[in-house]
Structures are given as structure tokens and as C-alpha cells.
Structure 1
Amino acid sequence: MTAPKRKARANGEGTIYQRNDGRWEAAGYVLAADGSRKRVRVYGTTRKNAADKLAEKIADSNRGLPVATADSTVGVYLAYWLNSVAVHRLRENTLTRYATCIRLYLKPGLGTKKLARLTARDVRTFLDRLRTTCQCCAQELDIVRRRCCRIGECCDKLLSPLTVTYVHSVLKSALEHAVREDELPRNVARNVKTTVPRPRRFTPLTATEARQLLQAAKADRLHALYELALRTGLRKGELLGLHWEDLDLDAGTAAIRRSLQRTRTGGLTPLPTKTRASERRIALPTRCIESLKSHRERQEKERTASGTNWRERGLVFTTPTGGPLDPANLTRRFCVLLDQTGLRRIRFHDLRHSTATLLLEQGVDLVVIKELLGHAHIGVTAGVYAHVRLRLQRQAIDTLNDSLGTGNDDPDDPPAADVIR
């Protein structure tokens, strides 16, 4: 008895066959990212698995959604990935940085390469060239500004190792999606190893400098903000995004739910916290509770003085008329305060580092600091403050050396206990 013939697939459903390696391959025509119709191939462990993947892509294409294909160039695929994939899972500011990275570096360097033919060598060559090429010349800024190579004096404006690593990570993320959608068999960018850039050095305040800053800030209308920044380690956006409803001054707690950020499309916008771990409830120090109560009284007076000009947002820290504080303006105010106090210039974010450093030096457990700062993993906390932990280790070792190096045995010391193995 002969096996029944498989029903022929309808026009437009594509073709399916089993490969020599045992996997099933399905191919069909879809709407590509550049507006043309191109043949796409997907793979599956079973015939049904491959057919379902192809049907999903054809359905997206029939709805007018572009589908990435391995026949696309890297530039076309990156545009598709940015506008159809990354836009749904990235914060707006992160998406803007990704778009800038693609526009300035990835598209000019790899944009004309066929996605399916991209190799690890291509990626390595591109990154090496990126490290050694003057960006003023590469982006033709010298032509516009008539300087650098335009006048025969190259300024050697090279990208920092951190930026090169960031460009590499964006490319890896895009190609990883192509692998997940079976457009590529492997992520060639992952086969290229780049040097890990040295972490950015920060200069936290000492305990004496922190006290000096807080003393000088007492005359500032944002004194409560500086108290919170130094005593709790909150991020700038978290401080500016605090609402009065987030605070329970009687219980002495604060719920960190959002972060105020300036976006390209929405201006000053409250956004979700940086990570899920950043959404947390923290205990407020007594000094912070006192300063917040004073700040609320001052804000009530400003509301009365502003009258109809007051813009009620429910924010803790506002402009004198109730509007949200711009993060850039806060940075400028902070620099002025440092200059008036006679302290060295540091970043506002270094207040957060100062909090963690001072807590570590007081012997506070790393887990407690991790929860206070809202780090996703304790490894982040341990990595950022490794230099502090090393200094504490040295102090502990020096203490032990002092104890062992006296050479005088105390007759009253108890005998050594047996060690149980």
C-alpha cells in the first residue's frame, strides 16, 4: 500500500523540506524592511515547528509589518530591529542612544554588508578601525567646521574604549535577535572579544567633606534633597521623581517607584525606575524626616505666594512655582554649591557613591547597601566598591599584624582550641 501523497501547499504558503542535518526548513516571500518582497527562511526541529514559524512571518507580512531577512544588509536589518523590536522593550533615552550609535558608527562601518555573510573578522576589523580612526574626520565634521584634517592638522579625536564597547554591545543585541528568529545560525559578534574598559574612577566625599556640604546646604531651598542624596544614596532621577504620596514621614519610609528623566519627545517625564530591583522601599534617617517636614512647610509658603501660577504635580522637589526640576539645572545648582562651600568639583552621582563608601567603611553589610541603592545584583555593588573593600581588608590585615607582631604572650590568654576537621 503506497503512502498517501501530502497535500500540496497553497500559493503563498511557501515551501517546506527536511535538510540533510535533520532539521526542517521553510521558505516563503515576505515584506522586507526596505519595502521590497524577499524570500525568508526559518528552521525547526519538526515540520510543524518550521511551518508555524513561517506562517507567523507571512501573517506579519500580510498585516504590513516588515520582516527581517538574511538577504538584507546589516544597515537595513539594524533599522528594522531598532524600529520594530527594540522600540518595544527599551526606555526612550536608551533607544535614542542606540539610534545614535547605529547612525554614527554601525551603519557607516557595516551597513552595506550582507547580514548572512557578516563574519567575526568583519566585526573585528570594524571595531579595530573604530578605535584608531579620528571621528572628526570620519563623520566629516572637519568639512563643516573647516578644521582638523581639513586644514591638515588632525586632532586625533578617538573614541573612548567605553564607547567602542558600547557599539559592540548594540551590535551583539541586534544580531542576537536575528539568531532567536532563525535568521542567522549564530551571533558572529559574540565571537569577537573586546577589552573590558577600566571602570570610571569616582571621587566620593569623605565624612568631613560630607558634613561640610550638608552644613552649607542648610541655607539652600533644596537642603532636604541634598540630605536625602547623601544619607540614602538615591539617584538624581529618583530624587526628582519623588511624590509626597511616596513618603510616610510618620513611619519614616519612602517608596521609590519612578524616576524623572528628560526625553526627546516628552520633555521632563516620570518613567519607571531603572530596573525592577530599583523599585524599593527604604527607611528614612531621622535627619531626613526633619528636613522633609521643613521642606514641606517651605513649599506650602511658595504655593501660597505663587497663587494661580502654581503648577501642582504632587512632587516633593519642585521649582518655586511647583514645576518639575530639570536634572541639568540641579547639576548646575550643585556645582555652584560646591564652589561656595570650597569643596572640590565632583559629579552629583558621586553623592550616591559617597553614601555607599561611607557605609562600607562603617562596617555595614554589603547586602544592606545593595538593597538601599537598588542594585539588581549584589555583584554590581561588590564590583563598583571593590576598591573600598580592598582598603578595609588591608586595615583588617594590619590590625591582625599588629596583634601577631608584638611578640609578647599574655599568660592569661586561653589555650588554643582543637580544630575539628
Structure 2
Amino acid sequence: MTPPRDTPASRRSRANGDGTVYQRKDGRWEAAGYVLAPGNTRRRVRVYGTTRKDALAKLTEKMAASNRGLLIPSAQGSVAAYLMYWLESVAVHHLRENTHTRYAACVNRYLIPGLGKKKLAKLTAKDVRTWLNQLRTTCQCCTRRIDARRDQPHCCAAGRCCSKLLSPLTLTYLHSVLKSALEHAVREEEIPRNVARNVRTGTPRPRRFEPLTADEARRLLTASQGHRLHALFELALHTGLRKGELLGLRWEDLDLDAGTAAIRRTLQRTTAGGLTTLPTKTRASERRIALPTRCVQSLKLHHEQQEREREAAGTAWRDSEHVFTTAQGGSIDPTNLTRAFTTLLRKAGLRRIRFHDLRHSTATLLLEQGVELVVIKELLGHAHIGVTATVYAHVRLRLQRDAIDTLSTALDGPTIAETANGDGDEAPPCAALVR
């Protein structure tokens, strides 16, 4: 029996656990060793270098990070594969159905075509920035071959590009979807950091809207007199409630004696469940608001009208417990409310606006009346006062200009009148001190 060979430690090229380093046939040097991986396991990694020293330095860096408890990225699949996993297994349980549908459209239309083929572990901030720059400067008719599918092409397929570019708001939204997906990959220890956070897209300008003036709002309310949903339009203009919040109101949410309303839910149409009652948009949206006296009176009249409709419908009545319903007691589809609102605008001779612009009209009119921004924030149910300040910055600027003009008029002082005797011996009266 041959005795075991004793090899002195000084003759070993690498100690046990330090990995191996050797030169490949193509001339490069390869170093391999075991590092910490997710699931409290160890995984063999390989690094390469032009010299033995380079390869050894890369392996030493990875093993040192592993000894500090940092996990090695395990994402070997593509960005497309992870995005589909995130949509189907993660986001679907945390997002509303409509939001999940929008996220899926962003992923399928823009993220996967632009970044899907790249390895998730090798995705860099430069890749994200290059992708955003391409979206910012490329016609979508060309990229998504929209024009080629039309019966009569009028853009790229016809030889004249329409340069239909994505808006800054859309680019910011796409960037936020990618950041959300990569943030979850970081939490699952698939990648060490979220590279999309290192890319700045800039702050887009708020979407422009045209709120109603005070005169236009009065004309709208006058035209809605006699309409079965007059109380809804009046409540929308006086409180700034969202469309879904108005349609989701139940009689149990109203205290007409105290003149208050509790906003707890919203009504939306979803692809799977149809008309569905959901919690409010955010936690801050769940609030209690005060009702104006005229809205309280309108709601009382509306309740009496609803009782008459209940008697007329008989057994066909569907008790949804909502404040605003159809003539048979069912929930009102948001699309049907939009149609009724458009018809009302036409009847009042007003320009066409969105129903959501009633909310903007409420905030604008309140600001012009000198109401504090924090009160408007609580009434509208914004999560942060910065949202209110940003959306209505143009209104605040106009109010600042009016205030400055008022101050300028005060500083000019009253016109100095001649004294009654007119002999000129007395000193002219001093202007009033401006405080």
C-alpha cells in the first residue's frame, strides 16, 4: 500500500477554499470559487482576466463580498422572463386590476421590445438610459409597426413619418414601471441593486386642464336643474370628489343631519369583475368631508326621488345601496355618467371638458377664494400637499400676481389733494403708512 503523499503548505498554489486559477487555451486566465447564494446555499462562480493577477483580483473581490454576507446575483434569465414572472406572480396580487392591465401594456409594448433580450444580472444604467432615449426620439408608428397594419397608411408606410413621439409623462410612467419591477428583484436578491434608480428622467410638466370658471359653473348647475342626477353634479362641483368616489357613495356613508360624508370606496369597471366596488385610491383618499347646505338639500330631494323610482320599479328594483343609481336601482357605469355629462355640457352651451375637470374646477375656485392649500388637500384627498401644490401651481402663480398688484397699488398711496384753504402755508398731508 502506497503511503499518502504529504505536500508541504508552501508548495500549494492555492489553499483549500480559495478557489482555483488557471490559463485557458485561448490565452485568458480563469478563476473559479464558491460564494454565498440565495437560500443559504453556495454557488460556484467563474471570472476571467487577461492576466493571472486580473482574474485572481476579480475572484478575491467576489469572495470578499460573499464573506461580508452579500449574496451573488442569481438572475441568469433575461429581463423579459423576469418581467413576465413579476407581472404574473407578484404584481397581480398587489395592484388593482386596471393598474395591472396598464402595467402589462407597458411591459409588452415597450419594456420587452427594448430591454427584454438583455440578461437581468447584466442590465446597466446605461442600457436603461439608451432605451429611454430611443423611445424619446423614435416615432411609435415606425417602432411598433402601427402604420403598417392600417388599411390606408399615412405615416412611415406611406413615406412620410408623422413623428408621433411619446410624451414626457408616458416616459416617466414607463420608467416607474421598470423601477418597480427591478426593486422587487432586489428584494428577492436576484440582483444587487436597482440600476433604473440611477437614471434620471426629469420632472414632466403637469397635464394641462381647462377648469370651469365661476360663471361657467353656475351655467352648468342651472342646466342640470331637473336632471335626475342633479345632486351628483352639484356634489361634484362643491366637493371635488372623483367620479368613482361619487358613484361608490352609499347612503350609510352620509350623515345629512350633521352635513358630512365619509369617503370609503370607489366604483370602477374591471375586465374580470365588471362594475366593482373597491377601496379608495390611496389611504389618504379615505376621508370625511363637510357637505354644503345646498348639497344636503339636494341629496334629501334625491333620496325622495329614489324612493319614488323604487316604488315604480317594483320587483325589478336592484338594491345596490348606492346614493346615485340607475332608474332600476343598479350601479351607474362610469362611461354612462360621462355621456350624460357631455350631453349636459352641450345643453348649457359650454365647451367640452372631462368629468375629472370638475374636480380641478373645485380646487381652482377654492384657491381663487383664498382657501388655504392644506384645506384643499384634505378635501381632495391628496396623499401629500406637494401634489396639490404641483397640480395647481399655475393658479397660485396668478394669485401671487394679483397680490403683488394689490400691494403695488397700496404702495403708490392716495392722491394728494390740495388743502381746503389753498394758501400753501401748511405741509402736505402724509400718505397713510402701509403695514
**TM bracket, shorter-chain basis:** 0.7 to 0.9
Corresponding residue of 1:243:
250
Instruction: Specify the SS of the correspondent of 2:284.
Output: helix
- Contact 2:36–2:42, Cα closer than 8 Å, also in 1: no
- Contact 2:138–2:165, Cα closer than 8 Å, also in 1: yes
Of the structure 1 ranges 192-201 and 92-101, higher mean CA displacement relative to structure 2 is found in 192-201
Does residue 237 of structure 2 align to residue 230 of structure 1?
Answer: yes
Report deviation, 1:156.
Answer: 3.0
Counterpart of 2:270, as a letter, is T
Greater gyration radius: 2
Report deviation, 1:236.
Answer: 0.5
- Contact 2:316–2:328, Cα closer than 8 Å, also in 1: yes
1-side partners of 2:433 and 2:164: how far apart? 67
1-side partners of 2:261 and 2:63: how far apart? 51
- Contact 1:43–1:182, Cα closer than 8 Å, also in 2: no
Corresponding residue of 1:220:
227
- Cα deviations by residue, 1:314-362 (Å, 9 ceiling, x for unpaired): 0111111111111111111111111110011111111111111111111
1-side partners of 2:69 and 2:330: how far apart? 54
- Same amino acid, percent of matched pairs: 68
Does residue 149 of structure 2 align to residue 159 of structure 1?
Answer: no
Give the direction of change, closer, same or farther, for the CA distance of 1:332–1:48 in structure 2 (3 Å limit): same
Give the direction of change, closer, same or farther, for the CA distance of 1:368–1:360 in structure 2 (3 Å limit): same
Q: What is the correspondence of 1:125-136 to structure 2 with a 5 Å cutoff?
A: 125-136=130-141
Does residue 344 of structure 2 align to residue 337 of structure 1?
Answer: yes
- Contact 1:16–1:26, Cα closer than 8 Å, also in 2: no
Instruction: Specify the SS of the correspondent of 1:277.
Output: coil
Report deviation, 1:414.
Answer: 7.1
Q: What is the correspondence of 1:8-407 to structure 2 with a 5 Å cutoff?
A: 17=35, 26-27=41-42, 69-146=74-151, 147=153, 148-406=155-413
Report deviation, 1:211.
Answer: 0.9
Instruction: Specify the SS of the correspondent of 1:271.
Output: strand
Report deviation, 1:176.
Answer: 1.5
Report deviation, 1:177.
Answer: 1.6
Count of residue pairs the alignment pairs up: 372
What's the Cα RMSD here? 2.9
Give the direction of change, closer, same or farther, for the CA distance of 1:108–1:214 in structure 2 (3 Å limit): same
Instruction: Specify the SS of the correspondent of 2:76.
Output: coil
1-side partners of 2:68 and 2:195: how far apart? 28
Corresponding residue of 1:34:
none
- Contact 1:25–1:44, Cα closer than 8 Å, also in 2: no
Give the direction of change, closer, same or farther, for the CA distance of 1:284–1:182 in structure 2 (3 Å limit): same
2-side partners of 1:358 and 1:43: how far apart? 63
State the TM-score, normalizing by the size of structure 2: 0.79
Gaps of 5+ in 2: 1-32, 45-61, 417-427
Report deviation, 1:152.
Answer: 3.1
- Cα deviations by residue, 1:241-269 (Å, 9 ceiling, x for unpaired): 00111111111110000010111111111
Instruction: Specify the SS of the correspondent of 2:289.
Output: strand
1-side partners of 2:189 and 2:172: how far apart? 26
Give the direction of change, closer, same or farther, for the CA distance of 1:49–1:246 in structure 2 (3 Å limit): farther
1-side partners of 2:35 and 2:143: how far apart? 47
Give the direction of change, closer, same or farther, for the CA distance of 1:302–1:26 in structure 2 (3 Å limit): same
Give the direction of change, closer, same or farther, for the CA distance of 1:413–1:323 in structure 2 (3 Å limit): same
Of the structure 1 ranges 69-78 and 124-133, higher mean CA displacement relative to structure 2 is found in 124-133
2-side partners of 1:344 and 1:214: how far apart? 15
State the TM-score, normalizing by the size of structure 1: 0.82
